């Protein structure tokens, strides 16, 4: 049997020079000047910004709101959430939108190209994600909503997202000093980038699963600790089975902080028509209930 191709025919990989410089630049500054000068106030500021940017902005606003349309909101609040996702420092919204549609499409095929599967070692996945950039010559096959691709606000943020992060870094530097900027901005951005990649890889390779998505190359796994740390994104098996659900942690012991943020916005009237597993019908017909575990040491 011939091995699966690395990429579909319409895709190619190039060296991601800017991504690598951005990651290692923030990581270097954060480790050398930020971590040694990390105080309780700076730690609290970093965690608070992570909740706003990674949690409310990226995990909830961009992923569940814009990409999966798990809830409805006003144009203004959608724009605010998109801006908060940019301040996470992990990339532009259009790039994330395209990448998500590429992966969703191929992971739901029975024969997925190797790049979109997770049967390769973690070091190779790290190399692919942080040193290479994925491009597509034809986006029409992925049915990406034109209203998102051509949204003026998202397109502007895509072009300028780095400037917004640098502007925040400059403000923190001026107000609180270089070491504070290194800790609150640089270290947080680097941890967010590495954490997003790590959670994605592990939640596709180990944990427990309630569902098997029939005919799909990937069904994902749930991880209790990563689920908490990633605002629910680590409950990835549930996400594969309920892609439109704003709630990923569905059991009483699965703490989904992203879902708590959605509930808070719902209570304030900022979002409505919330789709959630257990509340509305979000389960894919191909998602068959099962119970499996796959841990790294299980072979």
What would the pLDDT profile of 224-275 be if each residue is shown by its tens digit?
A: 999 999 999 999 999 999 999 999 999 999 999 999 999 999 999 999 999 9
Q: By the 8 A CB rule, do 222 and 55 touch?
A: no
Q: Count other C-beta atoms under 10 Å from residue 16's C-beta.
A: 17
Joined together, the tokens standing for residue 274 give 């919330």
What pTM was estimated for this model as a whole? 0.94
Distance CA 243, CA 36 (A): 41
Q: Which domain holds residue 146?
A: 17-298
Q: Enumerate residues 6+ apart whose C-beta is below 8 A from 12.
A: 134, 135, 137
Q: Is residue 251 part of a domain?
A: yes
Joined together, the tokens standing for residue 263 give 């509930």
Q: Is residue 12 part of a domain?
A: no
Burial class (CB in 10 A: 0-12, 13-18, 19+), 286: middle
Backbone angles phi, psi at 84, to 5 degrees: -60, -35
Q: By the 8 A CB rule, do 66 and 244 touch?
A: no
Q: Is residue 2 part of a domain?
A: no
Distance CA 100, CA 145 (A): 12
Which residues, given as ranges, of the chain have pLDDT below 50?
A: 1, 295-299
Total number of domains in the chain: 1
- Residues of the chain above pLDDT 90, percent: 91
Half-sphere exposure of 167 (CA within 13 A, CB side): 7
Q: How far, rounded to the nearest angstrom, does the alpha carbon of residue 204 sit from its chain's CA centroid? A: 13
Q: Is residue 5 part of a domain?
A: no
Q: Count other C-beta atoms under 10 Å from residue 94's C-beta.
A: 20
175-201 pLDDT, tens digit per residue, is 999 999 999 999 999 999 999 999 999
Q: Is residue 11 part of a domain?
A: no
Q: Is residue 6 part of a domain?
A: no
Distance CA 98, CA 144 (A): 7
Q: By the 8 A CB rule, do 77 and 61 touch?
A: no
Candidates 92, 248, 78, 239; CA nearest to 156 is 92
Q: What is the model's pLDDT at position 257?
A: 98
Q: Is residue 108 part of a domain?
A: yes
Joined together, the tokens standing for residue 36 give 């040694």
Q: Count other C-beta atoms under 10 Å from residue 127's C-beta.
A: 12
Q: How far, rounded to the nearest angstrom, does the alpha carbon of residue 171 sit from its chain's CA centroid? A: 26
Q: Is residue 282 part of a domain?
A: yes
């Amino acid at each position: 049997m011939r091995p699966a191709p690395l990429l579909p025919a319409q895709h190619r990989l190039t060296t991601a020079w800017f991504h690598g410089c951005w990651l290692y630049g923030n990581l270097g500054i954060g480790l050398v000047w930020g971590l040694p000068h990390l105080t309780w106030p700076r730690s609290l500021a970093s965690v608070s910004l992570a909740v706003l940017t990674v949690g409310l902005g990226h995990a909830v606003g961009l992923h569940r709101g814009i990409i999966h349309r798990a809830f409805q909101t006003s144009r203004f609040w959608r724009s605010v959430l998109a801006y908060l996702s940019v301040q996470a420092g992990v990339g532009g919204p259009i790039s994330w939108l395209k990448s998500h549609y590429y992966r969703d499409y191929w992971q739901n095929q029975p024969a997925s190209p190797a790049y979109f599967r997770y049967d390769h070692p973690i070091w190779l996945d790290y190399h692919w994600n942080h040193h290479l950039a994925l491009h597509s010559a034809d986006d029409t096959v992925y049915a990406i909503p034109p209203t998102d691709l051509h949204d003026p606000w998202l397109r502007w943020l895509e072009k300028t997202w780095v400037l917004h992060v640098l502007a925040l870094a400059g403000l923190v530097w001026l107000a609180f000093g270089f070491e504070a900027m290194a800790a609150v901005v640089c270290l947080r951005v680097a941890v967010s980038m590495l954490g997003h990649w790590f959670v994605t890889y592990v939640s596709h390779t180990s944990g427990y699963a309630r569902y098997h998505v029939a005919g799909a190359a990937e069904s994902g796994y749930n991880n209790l600790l990563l689920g908490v740390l990633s605002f629910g994104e680590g409950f990835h098996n549930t996400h594969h089975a309920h892609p439109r659900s704003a709630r990923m942690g569905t059991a009483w012991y699965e703490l989904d902080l992203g879902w708590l943020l959605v509930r808070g916005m719902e209570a304030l009237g900022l979002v409505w028509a919330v789709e959630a597993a257990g509340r509305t019908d979000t389960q894919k017909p191909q998602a068959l209930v099962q119970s499996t575990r796959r841990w790294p040491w299980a072979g």
